[in-house]
């Protein structure tokens, strides 16, 4: 019996990255899956989002050492993903998106089996399996074959097998896939609780509200490149100073009003719907000037509220800009 990974660097704070990728290139024949990708993953929950085929799964497989990049390096807690892949895999828990459970086994059998494969002794694996199954909320069902489980129960079992060996880094691929709203909330709560124990949890999801809810950081991948990465709050605070204005009035008055606004403010979007014009603009100062101009132009302002930007908007904007 040996203890592995004792010399592994252990980042002490959220600013020290646990995963660092630099200029990673992965090609499948002529298809470029990762194109000079560079990113840093900190501790806590980090969202990994991107359209289908963006390179998310390839990135996870590269970190796990299942794929060897043609160029670039990936460091996990200071370990190289190619030369130290076995040490890295002992530090990583992976919850795949698709069905991957052995259906003839019970959850307790599967989780303890996976614990054994992750290096736990028999004496450790069984009590630990019960502990993590308690944690994920699988009660007596744990003694039933997995083939009889609902989708939500399978997701819990998948999470349990990923955390049984207490990995420092967790990859969760679509963790709430197919779950009902209550189950989804519970899964997000579980992920938050795991992330709060000084771990890196990389959550790949198409449900951006989930990512927004539980992640501190986000990485948006498109075309094999990390086009956006950083703190979610910082990204969403791009809306600071953005206001959504709705106004009605005669067409000529509206036209004149818009001309005045364009001269004074940065206009993001203008749209018209049944005679009502909606303008998204940047206004760092007060609102009096806008109301005065509306009054002089003969335009009635129906609403003037701060505009809220969502992760979905950040995602769509980034992907569109990235593909131009």
Partner 1 sequence: MSLNPIEYRPWEGKRTDSSNRFMVIASKVFRHKLESKWVLGLLILGTFLTFGFSIIFNSINSHEGLTSESMASQMGDGLFFIIIIILVSMICSDLISEDLRSNSLVLYLSRALKPEGYLLGKALGALMVLSIFTILPPMILAIATTATQSGDDYLASISVIAQTLVASAWSTIFMVPIGLMISSLTPRKTYAAVGTFMTFFLLMLIGGILSSFDQNWSLIDPTFVLSRSYEVIFGIDMISGINGGLLALAIGMMLVPPSLFVYWRIVAKGVGK
Show the binding pattern over residues 131-160: x = contacts partner 1 (CB under 8 A), - = does not: x--xx-xxx-x----------xx-------
Torsion, Cα of 89, 94, 98, 103 (10° steps): 90
Applying CB under 8 A, does 11 fall inside the site for partner 1?
no
Q: 69: which residues sit within 8 A by CB, 6+ positions away?
A: 24, 25, 26, 34, 62, 81, 82
The region, left, alpha or beta by phi > 0 then psi within -120 to 50, assigned to residue 209 is alpha
Smallest gap from residue 190 Cβ to partner 1 (A): 7
Binding-site member from 17, 41, 94, 179 for partner 1 (CB under 8 A): 94
Name the residue among 49, 47, 58 with its Cα closest to residue 21: 58
Query: Which CB, 156 or 293, lies closer to partner 1?
Result: 156
With contacts defined by CB under 8 A, name the span among 15-23, 120-128, 214-222, 253-261 that binds partner 1. Answer: 120-128
**Contact flag: residue 165 with partner 1 (CB under 8 A):** yes
The per-residue DSSP string of 16-56 comes to: S-SEEEEEEEEEETTEEEEEEEEEEE-SEEEEEE--TTSSH
Q: How far is the CB of 258 from partner 1 (least distance, A)?
A: 52
Residue 80, interface with partner 1 (CB under 8 A)?
Answer: no
With CB under 8 A as the contact rule, the residue among 190, 277, 281, 311 that binds partner 1 is 190
- Does 99 bind partner 1 (CB under 8 A)? Our answer is yes
C-alpha–C-alpha distance, residues 130 and 164, integer Å = 9
Question: Judged by CB under 8 A, does residue 114 bind partner 1?
Answer: yes
Cα–Cα distance between 122 and 211 in angstroms, integer?
36
- Per DSSP, 143 falls in state G
Toward partner 1, which CB reaches closer, 46 or 136? 136
Minimum Å gap between C-beta 80 and partner 1 is 15
Of the candidate residues 18, 42, 57, 155, the single one contacting partner 1 (CB under 8 A): 57
Say whether residue 229 binds partner 1 (CB under 8 A): no
Exactly one of 70, 83, 121, 310 binds partner 1 (CB under 8 A); that residue is: 121
Secondary structure element (H or E) that encloses residue 236, with its range: helix 232-236
The alpha helices in 52-175, defined as continuous H runs, are 56-64, 85-91, 107-117, 122-136, 151-163
Residue of 23, 70, 83, 117 that binds partner 1 (CB under 8 A): 117
DSSP per residue, 146-172: GGG--HHHHHHHHHHHHHTT--SEEEE
Catalog residues that contact partner 1 under the rule CB under 8 A: 1-5, 57, 61, 64, 66-67, 86-87, 89-90, 92, 94, 96, 98-104, 113-114, 116-121, 124, 128, 131, 134-135, 137-139, 141, 152-153, 161, 163-166, 186, 189-190, 193-194, 197
């Amino acid at each position: 019996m040996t203890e592995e990974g004792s010399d592994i660097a252990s980042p002490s704070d959220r600013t020290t990255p646990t995963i660092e990728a630099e200029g990673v290139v992965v090609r499948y024949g002529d298809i470029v899956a990762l194109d000079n990708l560079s990113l840093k993953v900190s501790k806590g929950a980090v969202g990994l989002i991107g359209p289908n085929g963006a390179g998310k799964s390839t990135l996870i497989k590269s970190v796990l050492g299942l794929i060897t990049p043609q160029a670039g390096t990936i460091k996990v807690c200071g370990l190289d993903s190619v030369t130290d892949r076995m040490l890295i895999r002992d530090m990583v828990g992976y919850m795949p998106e698709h069905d991957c459970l052995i259906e003839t086994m019970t959850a307790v059998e599967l989780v303890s089996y996976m614990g054994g494969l992750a290096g736990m002794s028999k004496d450790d694996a069984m009590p630990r399996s019960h502990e993590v199954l308690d944690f994920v909320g699988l009660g007596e069902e744990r003694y039933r074959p997995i083939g009889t489980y609902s989708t939500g129960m399978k997701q819990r079992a998948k999470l349990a097998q990923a955390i049984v060996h207490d990995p420092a880094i967790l990859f969760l691929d679509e963790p709430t896939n197919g779950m009902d709203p209550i189950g989804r909330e519970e899964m997000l709560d579980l992920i938050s609780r795991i992330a709060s124990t000084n771990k890196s949890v990389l959550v790949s999801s198409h449900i951006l509200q989930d990512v927004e809810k539980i992640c501190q950081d986000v990485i948006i991948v498109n075309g094999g490149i990390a086009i956006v990465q950083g703190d979610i709050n910082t990204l969403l605070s791009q809306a600071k100073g953005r206001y959504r204005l709705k106004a009605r009035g005669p067409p000529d008055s509206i036209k004149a009003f818009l001309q005045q606004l364009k001269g004074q403010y940065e206009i993001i979007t203008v749209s018209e719907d049944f005679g009502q014009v909606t303008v998204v603009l940047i206004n760092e100062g007060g609102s009096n000037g806008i109301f005065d101009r509306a009054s002089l132009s003969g335009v009635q302002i129906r609403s003037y509220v701060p505009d809220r930007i969502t992760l979905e908007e950040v995602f769509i904007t980034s992907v569109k800009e990235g593909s131009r």
